[in-house]
Amino acid sequence: LPFSSMSGVTVKDECVDTFNQIKMKKDLRYCIFKISDDRKTIVNDCQGPAEETFQDFIKHLPEDQPRYALCDIDYATDDGRQQNKLCFFFW
C-alpha cells in the first residue's frame, strides 16, 4: 500500500525499498527523491553507491527544485571512534 500524507501525495513502493536498502544493506551513500511531474507521488530521483562522498551527494541536488534525500554520513566522535548516521534532508 502506498503511503499518503495529508496533502494527498503518496510515496511509491520503490522509495520505501530504497530507504530499506540504504538503512539495512548499507550499500548506498545517498538516495534522492522528488515529487513526480503530475505532483501525485514521491519517486526515486537518483542514488549513489557507498563509495561516493557527501560532496558527491551535494552535487546531485538541483539548485532550483525541491528534493527529499537520505545520506549516510560518516564522522568521528570526540574520542576518535568512527560512526555513521543516516540523515534525512528537505531540500
82 and 73 Cβ atoms separated by less than 8 Å:
no
Mapped onto helix, strand or coil, the DSSP state of residue 34 is: strand
Instruction: Output the CA torsion sign for 22, 39, 4, 7.
Output: positive
pLDDT (tens, 9 = 90+) of the chain, 91 residues, equals 455 555 789 999 999 999 999 999 999 999 999 999 999 999 999 999 999 999 999 999 999 999 999 999 999 999 999 999 999 999 9
* Cell 503518496, residue located: 10
